[in-house]
C-alpha cells in the first residue's frame, strides 16, 4: 500500500512536471510566433493588438518616460502585404531599415499608396530641378526653427541652397535675416485675422493700408552672408500691375508686378547681401514674402505662426494651395501642431476632440493637394512645476497618440515627436540635457536633435521606397 | 448667477484669452466673430471659464455650443 502511494505520488509529480514542460513549450511557441513580423501584422490586421511585455508595462503604468498613452498599436498589415512580394535579400534590407525607424509611420492609405510616395518619387526624379517642402507649425518652428536644421540636412544630401520664403515682417526673429517694414504695410495671419482673405500658402499676407499706385511703402530685409542662395524672388498674390523698386548694394532696379488674380513669383535677380529694400506695390498688390532660393535641390519654406493651432489654414483656399504647389513644385507638406493644446487636455475625450479637429485639417490638405505627401508631426512633451518638481503634463502622450490616429485616418504619414522625447525622459529629460525648456520649446541643440531623427527616419523610408521600386523593376 | 454679470465676466475672460480688446458679449457672438478664437484657444477659454465660475462642462456641451448665448445659458444653469 505504501509502495502504491509512493508510486502514485511519483506519477503525480511526473504529471505536474510534464504539464509544466508542456506549458513552457506552448509559451515559447507563442512568443516565437508573435516575434515573426508577418504574424504580428496579421494579428494586428485582424483586430488583435500584439504588445511586447515592455510596451504593456509602459502602457499600464503610464510611465513611458513622459505621460499617459493607451498603448494601442496602429494596424500595419497592408505594409506586410506589400513587402511579402519582395525577394528575400531585399526583404531583409527593408526589415533592417524598418527596425531602425521608431517614430515615423508611413501607413498605406485607402488608395493602397504610402503617404510619402509622392515626395519620394519627386526626390528620385529630381535631377537638376527643385523639390519643395512646406513646413507648417506654431511657435515651436517660428523664425525658421527646426526647418533650418532639416533644410541643411536635406540640402546636404540632395543639393540646393537658400532659406525659402521669408515674410516681409514677423514677430519672431530669424538667425540670418533681419526684417523691417515702414508705415503702410499691414501684416495679416490666418490666426489673428480670421475675417481676412487672399492668403497664400504660408498663411501670412502683407497689403497696404492706403491703396494708390503712387503710394510707395517701404520694406527691407538684411541678408547675412551666412545664407548661400542663388536667386531672389518676390512671392505675391493678386496684383493690379503695381510698380516696384529694388535697392541693393549693387544698385537700383525697377519692376512691374504682373497683373493677376491669384499672383505668382517675380524674379528680382541674383543673390544680394546686406540691406535689400523694396519700395512700391502700394496700389493693392498682396505680397507674401521674399524667396531666397536656388532652382535645384531641396527648398523648405517655414510657415510658423505663434499661438496657431492649425485651424486658420482653412482660410487658405484650395485653389491657392493647388496653384502655388504646382508653381513651386511642392511635394511634401509637414503639419506640426498640438503643443498649444497640451495644458488643456483633461481626459481622453478632450484629446480625441483635438485629434478630430486636426483631422479636418489633414483631410483638407490631403484633398487640396493630391500629388503632395502630407506628413503630420505630433506635438512633443510639455511640462510645468508642481511643488517645485518639474513634471510632464499627464495627457501629452495621449494627445500625440490621437493625432497619430487622425493622421492615419486622413491618409497622412505620421512622426511621433512625443515618443521621441519620451525616449530621453520626456520634457524633464530634455530640459536636463539642455534640449528644451519646460514649456516644450526646443533649444537649438534640441531642434537639431529632432531634425536629425526626422531626417534619418525619412531617409530610411526613402531607402525602403527605392528598394521596393528596384525590386518591382527587376 | 445673473446673466448680465456672466456677460461682463466673459468679456474680461475673452479679452484675456483671445487678446481681442474690449468685446461686447452678445448672444449671437460666435468664434467667427473673434480673431484668434480657434479650436485650441476654445479649450483655453473653456478652461478659464471653468476656473472663474467654479463649474465643469461636459464634452458634449462644449462641442454642441453654437454661440455665446448658449455659453451664457449653460453657465447660468450650472451656477444656479
Asked whether residue A76 is domain-assigned, the answer is: no
The torsion angles phi and psi of A340, rounded to 5 degrees, stand at -65, -20
- Chain B's closest residue to A361, CA to CA, is B39
Residue of A nearest to B47 (CA): A344
Whether residue A268 is found in the same domain as residue A303? no
What distance in Å separates the CA atoms of residue A325 and residue A380, rounded to the nearest whole number? 28
Q: How many domains does chain A have?
A: 3
CATH of the domain at A337: 3.40.50.1110
Q: Which of A193, A194, A309 sits opposite B40 (nearest CB)?
A: A309
Grid cell of B56 as nine digits: 465643469
Cell of A90: 531585399
Model confidence at A469, pLDDT cuts 50, 70, 90, reads confident
CB A344 to CB B41 under 8 A?
Answer: no
Chain B: residues touching A (Cβ < 8 Å): 32, 34-41, 43-44, 46-47, 59, 62-63
In a domain, A100, yes or no: yes
pLDDT tens, residue by residue, A134-185: 999 999 999 999 999 999 999 999 999 999 999 999 999 999 999 999 988 9
For residues A399 and A382, the answer to whether their CB atoms sit within 8 Å is: no
Structural domain contains residue A75: no
**Interface predicted TM-score (ipTM):** 0.71
From residue B33, give the alpha-carbon distance in Å to each of A193, B22, B67: 10, 13, 10
pTM: 0.83
Return the residue in A186, A191, A194, A343 with the most chain B beta carbons within 10 A, the one to mutate for interface testing. A194
Do A339 and A422 belong together in one domain?
Answer: yes
- pLDDT in the model for residue A45: 37
CATH classification of the domain holding A189:
2.60.120.1360
Predicted pLDDT of residue A472: 77
Instruction: Give residue A148's domain range.
Output: 81-160+297-474
Say what angle helices A2-35 and A37-45 make with each other, to 10 degrees.
Answer: 80
Say whether both A264 and A406 belong to one domain.
no
Spell out where A212-342 has E strands. 218-223, 231-236, 243-248, 251-256, 264-270, 274-280, 287-293, 297-304, 330-336
d(CA A18, CA A16): 5
Residue A78, classified by CB atoms within 10 Å of its CB into exposed (0-12), middle (13-18) or buried (19+), is middle
Mean pLDDT for A187-208 is 94
pLDDT at A73 over 80: no
Are A281 and A188 members of one domain? Answer: yes
CA neighbor of A380 nearest in space, from A317, A332, A429: A429
Q: Which domain holds residue B69?
A: 3-79
| Overall domain count for chain B | 1
Interchain CB distance below 8 Å, B43 and A344: yes
Is the separation of the CB atoms in A59 and A69 below 8 Å?
Answer: yes
Domain shared by A246 and A306, yes or no: no
Across chain A, mean pLDDT equals: 86
A172-231 residues touching B, CB cutoff 8 A:
191-195
Per-residue pLDDT tens digits for A412-440: 999 999 999 999 999 999 999 999 999 99
Residue of A nearest to B60 (CA): A349
Last-in-domain residue among A246, A279, A295: A295
How far apart CA B16 and CA A178 sit, in angstroms, is 31
- Do A332 and A466 belong to one domain? yes
- Residue B60 is part of a domain; what is its CATH number? 1.10.1200.10
Contact A341 B36 (CB under 8 A): no
Are residues B41 and A309, on separate chains, in Cβ contact within 8 Å?
yes
- CA of A67: how far to CAs of A313, A349, A382, A387, A401, in Å? 29, 16, 10, 18, 11
* Range picked from A84-93, A172-181, B13-22 for highest mean pLDDT: A172-181
Q: Other CB atoms closer than 10 Å to residue A365's CB: what's the count?
A: 23
Q: State the Cα–Cα distance between residues A343 and B43, nearest whole angstrom.
A: 9
Which residues 292-311 of A are in CB contact (within 8 Å) with B?
A: 307-309, 311
Query: How large is the average pLDDT for residues B31-60?
Result: 86
Question: Closest approach of chain B CAs to the CA of A207, in angstroms?
Answer: 18
Same domain, A346 and A474: yes
> Dihedral sign, CA of A325, A326, A329, A331?
positive
Amino acid at each position: 500500500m505504501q509502495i502504491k502511494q509512493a508510486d502514485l505520488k511519483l506519477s503525480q509529480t511526473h504529471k505536474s512536471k510534464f504539464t509544466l514542460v508542456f506549458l513552457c513549450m506552448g509559451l515559447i511557441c507563442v512568443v516565437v510566433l508573435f516575434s515573426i513580423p508577418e504574424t504580428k501584422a496579421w494579428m494586428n490586421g485582424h483586430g488583435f493588438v500584439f504588445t511586447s511585455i515592455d510596451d504593456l508595462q509602459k502602457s499600464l503604468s503610464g510611465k513611458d518616460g513622459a505621460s499617459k498613452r493607451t498603448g494601442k498599436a496602429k494596424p500595419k498589415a497592408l505594409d506586410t502585404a506589400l513587402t511579402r512580394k519582395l525577394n528575400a535579400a531585399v526583404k531583409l534590407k527593408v526589415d533592417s531599415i524598418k527596425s531602425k525607424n521608431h517614430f515615423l509611420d508611413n501607413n498605406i492609405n485607402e488608395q493602397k499608396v504610402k503617404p510619402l510616395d509622392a515626395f519620394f518619387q519627386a526626390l528620385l526624379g529630381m535631377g537638376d530641378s527643385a523639390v519643395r517642402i512646406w513646413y507648417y507649425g506654431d511657435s515651436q518652428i517660428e523664425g525658421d526653427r527646426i526647418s533650418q536644421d532639416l533644410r541643411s540636412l536635406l540640402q546636404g544630401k540632395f543639393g540646393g541652397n537658400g532659406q525659402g520664403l521669408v515674410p516681409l515682417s514677423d514677430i519672431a526673429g530669424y538667425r540670418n535675416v533681419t526684417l523691417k517694414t515702414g508705415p503702410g504695410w499691414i501684416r495679416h495671419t490666418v490666426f489673428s485675422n480670421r475675417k481676412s482673405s487672399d492668403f497664400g500658402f504660408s498663411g501670412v499676407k502683407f497689403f497696404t493700408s492706403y491703396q494708390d499706385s503712387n503710394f510707395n511703402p517701404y520694406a527691407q530685409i538684411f541678408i547675412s552672408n551666412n545664407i548661400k542662395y542663388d536667386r531672389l524672388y518676390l512671392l505675391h498674390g493678386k496684383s493690379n500691375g503695381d510698380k516696384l523698386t529694388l535697392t541693393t548694394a549693387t544698385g537700383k532696379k525697377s519692376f512691374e508686378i504682373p497683373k493677376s488674380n491669384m499672383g505668382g513669383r517675380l524674379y528680382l535677380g541674383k543673390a544680394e547681401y546686406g540691406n535689400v529694400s523694396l519700395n512700391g506695390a502700394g496700389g493693392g498688390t498682396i505680397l507674401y514674402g521674399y524667396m531666397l532660393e536656388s532652382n535645384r535641390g531641396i527648398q523648405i519654406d517655414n510657415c510658423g505662426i505663434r499661438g496657431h493651432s492649425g485651424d486658420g489654414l482653412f482660410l487658405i483656399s484650395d485653389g491657392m494651395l493647388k496653384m502655388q504647389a504646382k508653381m513651386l513644385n511642392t511635394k511634401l507638406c509637414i503639419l506640426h501642431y498640438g503643443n498649444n493644446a497640451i495644458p488643456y487636455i483633461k481626459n481622453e475625450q478632450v484629446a480625441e476632440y483635438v485629434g478630430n479637429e486636426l483631422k479636418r485639417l489633414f483631410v483638407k490638405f490631403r484633398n487640396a493637394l493630391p500629388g503632395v505627401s502630407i506628413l503630420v508631426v505630433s506635438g512633443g512633451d510639455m511640462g510645468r512645476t508642481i511643488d517645485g518638481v518639474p513634471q510632464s503634463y499627464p495627457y501629452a502622450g495621449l494627445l500625440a497618440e490621437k493625432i497619430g490616429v487622425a493622421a492615419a485616418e486622413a491618409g497622412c504619414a505620421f512622426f511621433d515627436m512625443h515618443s521621441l522625447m519620451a525616449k530621453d525622459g520626456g520634457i524633464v529629460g530634455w530640459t536636463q540635457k539642455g534640449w528644451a525648456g519646460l514649456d516644450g520649446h526646443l533649444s537649438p541643440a534640441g531642434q537639431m536633435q529632432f531634425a536629425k531623427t526626422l531626417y534619418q527616419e525619412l531617409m530610411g523610408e526613402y531607402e525602403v521606397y527605392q528598394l521596393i521600386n528596384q525590386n518591382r523593376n527587376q | 448667477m445673473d446673466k448680465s454679470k456672466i456677460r461682463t465676466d466673459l468679456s474680461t475672460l475673452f479679452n484675456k484669452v483671445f487678446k481681442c480688446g474690449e468685446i461686447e458679449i452678445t448672444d449671437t457672438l460666435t468664434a467667427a466673430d473673434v480673431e484668434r478664437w480657434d479650436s485650441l484657444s476654445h479649450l483655453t477659454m473653456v478652461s478659464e471659464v471653468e476656473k472663474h465660475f467654479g463649474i465643469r462642462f461636459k464634452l458634449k456641451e462644449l462641442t454642441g455650443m453654437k454661440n455665446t448665448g448658449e455659453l451664457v445659458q449653460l453657465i447660468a444653469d450650472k451656477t444656479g
